[in-house]
Structure 1
Amino acid sequence: MFSWLLALLLALTLWGLTSAWLWLVKRRNTENQHGLAALAGMRWREFSQIVHRAMSEQRNLHELVNDEESADRRTSSDFLMEGKERWLISCKHGRAYRLGAASITEMATAQQLTGAGRGVLITEGRVERDGLAAAQKHGIEVLDERNLWRALAPFVPDDTRQAVVGVARREAMRQTGIAALGALTVGLLAGLGYQTTLHGDDAPPARAAGAAAIAPDKPPAAAAPVAAGTEAATPAPAVDDTAMAAEDLVQNPDAATLLRYQQAVSKKLAGTPGVISGIWLTRSTLSIERSADDATVWPLICREVERYPALRTTRIQLNPRPGTDEPVRWRQCSTI
């Protein structure tokens, strides 16, 4: 459950960051591009009226209506306006313009000839880097594709402005929906990956039973586990082979006798060539660690197990040899 909460948090974070960028950055860029296209699509008279209105209301400038030269410039791309000082407004109407230092120098010359102290260059196109440097040098303000729409948008007819803003908003909403699906997909993949890793870490090893039974190369003869079903019993004394051979082996021994039989088998197998150890996992399961192949060690294992009638049907677990990818196998020397 916790992993899915993290995945949900990741998805919400990604969606939030992407949405913020789409609305605060991408939407403004989209609106700017569509706004410039709308301005460039206007006739010169409409565009010049918007520029006149913007200069009048934003900068408190007015036309030189009493100036005969200014009257001729009303339909020209360059016109004079006046506030505290005279301004030359130069318009390059169209998106194809790429203006460099030469165009700025030409405007600076015209500014000197008309006695204007300030100048503004307006275009839906772009003023190149050298043109910007020249404009700064001559004190000419530049309104081009980077900032023209923001400057003129308040003075554009309402229907045109709302159409431009609506297009940008719808585009942002569409992209936000796509971003939500993408963030959800990333969250799901992250959650599934975390679950897979978690389950892989928690899964028991393939040889859990065999690994638990691995003992040192030469374990002590008496180091056999307690038989299943018995509680922490006091370890039995070491088995005397001579006494074991002499006693009467029974089919159904008591728990203490069965434990002695198992210890005797473990001791013999520990000294058998090709066998590393034989550890009793339960009273009827013997785990074998070996260094030789089945054909070599199996007769030797059965020889020791079948000496005791009570152990002949023991379930024997043959663990893979060290360094191999053999599967774990279970066999019996005798069946009932």
Structure 2
Amino acid sequence: MLSWILALLLALIVWFLATAYFWLIKRKQKETQLGLNALAGMHWREFSLIVRRAMHERRGLQDVPDETADSREPRSDFLMHDGPQRWLLSCKHGRAYRIGTAAVNELGAAARLAGARGGILITEGKVERDGRIAAEKQSVEVLDGPLLWPLLKPYLPGDMEARVEAGARGEALRRISIAALGAATLGLMVGLGSLTAGLEKEWAEDETTVAAPAAATSAAAQAPATADAQPTAAATPASAAPGTAENRAADAALPAMEANPDNATLDRYQQELSRKVATHPGVASGIWLTRQTLAINRTGEIDTIWPLICEEVTRYPALRTVRIQLNPRPGVDEPVRWRQCTTL
């Protein structure tokens, strides 16, 4: 259940980020593109009118009367003023324009001849990088593509502005819908992947649980008997004597669960044996190094504590054949000894 909750949260986060990107960024880019296309499709005279109206209302510029110019002829340059200063406004109508240094230098020269302080270059096209560098030197302000649309948008005819916004909004909603399907697919794949991984882990744990007792028995059968196992076993109590008929009969009489326990039960047996061994005099502690090796930290003689250790070990059929590592006493120069209470 947790994996599906995480997959749902992941899908929601991905869809939220995609929605924010498509609505806040791509929608505005699409609106600018459609708006410039709409401006480029306008008649020249309509375009020049909304440009001059925008410059008048936004910049406070007024037309400079030109009695020599014929108002019926299309014009691309307009001389405007804001009081004491004049500006030469140049319109390059169309999206195909790629304006470079030459056109900018020409506008700058024309502005100086007209006694203007500088020029304003307006186009739905694009001013190249070298043209922008030249514009800074020529005192020419550039209003191209992305800068022009926000300036002229409020002055478009109402139906044209509505069509542009509707087109951009529809494109954004279409992309958001596709993103929702993608996010749902991603969440489904993550959820199924987590579920599959969990099932595989459970299967692996089940196989390990089934195989562990058999592996423990096999390892115990293969564990070599040490050289001194037989002499020491002779010293153990009769009840723990290896290979006796009584022990074999007792082992056969024990339930299968105790003779071949699962991992949890075997862990419990080992913990109990460690505690019981440590209660005998001469034994400091019993620590399991592996499933088949019990390390005894002793303070007494081996011959004294060994019968006590074997008495506890042989109480557990699953642990009778474990190897006992007898560590040297503290401060005594003795070797490490390995013994077994019972051999197969």
Length-normalised TM-score, structure 1: 0.66
RMSD across aligned positions (CA): 2.6
Aligned length: 241
> Does 1:100 find its partner at 2:89?
no
> Does 1:218 find its partner at 2:223?
yes
- Alignment-derived partner of residue 4 in structure 2: 4
> Does 1:185 find its partner at 2:185?
yes
Distance 2:17 2:175 in 1: 13
- Alignment-derived partner of residue 76 in structure 1: 75
Q: Aligned residues: percent identity?
A: 48
> Does 1:238 find its partner at 2:217?
no
- Alignment-derived partner of residue 207 in structure 2: 206
Deviation, structure 1 residue 91: 0.5
Distance 2:144 2:27 in 1: 19
Distance 2:187 2:252 in 1: 59
Deviations 1:43-101 (A, max 9, x none): 10110111011011000111113x32466697310111111311110001011110001
Length-normalised TM-score, structure 2: 0.64
Distance 2:81 2:70 in 1: 14
Distance 1:262 1:71 in 2: 123
Deviation, structure 1 residue 148: 1.1
Q: Greater shift after overlay, 201-210 or 93-102?
A: 201-210
Deviations 1:106-165 (A, max 9, x none): 110001011111311011111000001111222211111122111100111111001100
Deviation, structure 1 residue 191: 1.2
Deviation, structure 1 residue 7: 0.8
Distance 1:70 1:64 in 2: 11
Name whichever structure is richer in helix by fraction.
2
Query: What pairs with 1:1-336 in structure 2 (closer than 5 Å)?
Result: 1-65=1-65, 67-69=66-68, 75-84=74-83, 85-203=85-203, 204-213=205-214, 214=216, 215-216=219-220, 217-218=222-223, 237-240=240-243, 244=245, 258-261=249-252, 281=260
- Alignment-derived partner of residue 325 in structure 1: none
Query: Partner of 1:75: helix, strand, or coil?
Result: coil
Deviation, structure 1 residue 206: 2.8
Q: Greater shift after overlay, 143-152 or 123-132?
A: 143-152
Distance 1:210 1:236 in 2: 31
Amino acid at match of 1:209: V
Amino acid at match of 2:91: C
Deviation, structure 1 residue 219: 6.9
Deviation, structure 1 residue 262: 8.1
Query: Partner of 1:57: helix, strand, or coil?
Result: helix
